[in-house]
A = this chain, B = another copy of it.
Amino acid sequence: MSISSFYPPQRILMGPGPTDVHPKVLQALSRPTIGHLDPAFIGMMDEVRTLLQYAFQTENGCTMAVSAPGSAGMEACFVNLIEPGDKVVVCINGVFGNRMAENVVRSGGQLVKVEDDWGRPVSPDKLEEALKAHPDARIVAFVHAETSTGVLSDAKKLCSLAKQHNCLSIVDAVTSLGGVPLFVDDWGIDAIYSGTQKCLSSVPGISPVSFSDAAVAKIKGRKTPVQSWFLDQSLVMSYWGGKQKRSYHHTAPVNALYAVHESLLNLREEGLSNAWQRHAEQHETLRLGLEKLGISFIVDEACRLPQLNTVAIPDGVDDETVRSRLLDHYNLEIGSGLGAFTGEVWRIGLMGYGARAENVALCLRALEETLN
């Protein structure tokens, strides 16, 4: 087998992630590797924590980047907070809610499902009902921005219900962080995870997480060890944590963290509310253009994610033919449907650095030419 260096095509990434990576982030990524206990690196990790606290709008000391993709960030939240037998209410309205449920079962938790239709937000009423029916529930989990459907749920309301019923909350913010308003402390979120390859516009592979004091207390009070050694937050914190001497847990993904640092710096320089507004504005341009093409959204306007536009594939149009044409002719990637939505929808991402006028214009023109 003849193999040579891999030179990827230059794509425009408007799927559900990874999204266009900012050029400054790619530059940061390839700076010289240094040791994971080098004082210079430790200093940079402290900055990453500060920048993540800004992005999450939290003062949680236990804020860090898990050395693996969002799915591992999800698992980190579940395996650390669930002890065998804990009752956990999971709100499901798409693929990632189902993945949360899977995590509960594999962590030895007792699963209570609250289900909503795909394309609809999580219903606070149904959650409240479930919490009343299960007064012994310990944790409520839901997805803030469902990547499989493009739906935004009311995280503030859902977390407040959790708190009223003495539950900790676990929130999936993989697609929401940096794209729509999110206030970890104000909303009382106890455990949250995200990914770097969505609205942060960094490369995939790292998962920012944050735990409230209440969550940390539950972790510290565990009677059983966390089933994952790699994701055991008490151990990881001895490396990421505080002002004390750092102790080795695993070798940090040094260069990927350079990239995360740079992407978070970009976000702070732009400012969170400016970033949220930019996503909203680009979404509005895209929406108008898509509607002119006769393409309709499958999500109600009230709970539509600006950064992930889920639209119905027009009748008589072949999913794969169109996406292949966009990729091959325009180097443009849009996302296919996932799970129950396969073949039914496209997911058009406008995330982070990808949410800019030239991408929207290209996407609209390319779709117009391809569909006609």
Residues of A within 8 A of B (CB): 1, 3-11, 13, 15, 17-18, 20-21, 24, 26-36, 38-41, 44, 47, 50-51, 67-72, 74-75, 99, 102-103, 105-107, 195, 197, 203-205, 225-230, 248-256, 258, 261-262, 265, 268, 327, 333, 338
Which one of B17, B47, B251, B338 contacts A3 once the chains associate, using CB atoms below 8 Å?
B47
* Cα–Cα distance between A15 and B20 once the two chains are bound (Å): 35
Complex interface: chain B residues within 8 A of A268 (CB)? 3
State how many angstroms separate the Cβ of A146 from the closest Cβ of chain B.
15
Complex interface: chain B residues within 8 A of A8 (CB)? 31-34, 38, 40-41, 44, 258
* A255 lies within 8 A of B69 (CB): no
* B195 lies within 8 A of A251 (CB): yes
**Count of chain copies:** 2
* Cα–Cα distance between A109 and B229 once the two chains are bound (Å): 14
State how many angstroms separate the Cβ of A122 from the closest Cβ of chain B.
21
State how many angstroms separate the Cβ of A334 from the closest Cβ of chain B.
10
* A99 lies within 8 A of B229 (CB): yes
State how many angstroms separate the Cβ of A260 from the closest Cβ of chain B.
10
* Cα–Cα distance between A251 and B105 once the two chains are bound (Å): 22
* A17 lies within 8 A of B251 (CB): yes
* A228 lies within 8 A of B11 (CB): no
Complex interface: chain B residues within 8 A of A29 (CB)? 29-30, 255
* A205 lies within 8 A of B253 (CB): yes
* B250 lies within 8 A of A70 (CB): yes
* Cα–Cα distance between A15 and B248 once the two chains are bound (Å): 13
* A26 lies within 8 A of B32 (CB): yes
Residue of B with least CB distance to A339: B248
Interface core residue of A39, A74, A105, A255 (most chain B CB under 10 Å) = A255
* A203 lies within 8 A of B3 (CB): no
Complex interface: chain B residues within 8 A of A13 (CB)? 33-35
28 contacts between A and B (CB under 8 A): A3-B51, A3-B268, A8-B41, A9-B34, A10-B32, A13-B35, A18-B251, A21-B32, A26-B32, A29-B29, A29-B30, A33-B204, A35-B333, A36-B204, A67-B69, A68-B68, A69-B230, A69-B250, A69-B253, A72-B72, A72-B230, A106-B226, A106-B228, A106-B229, A203-B253, A203-B255, A204-B255, A227-B228
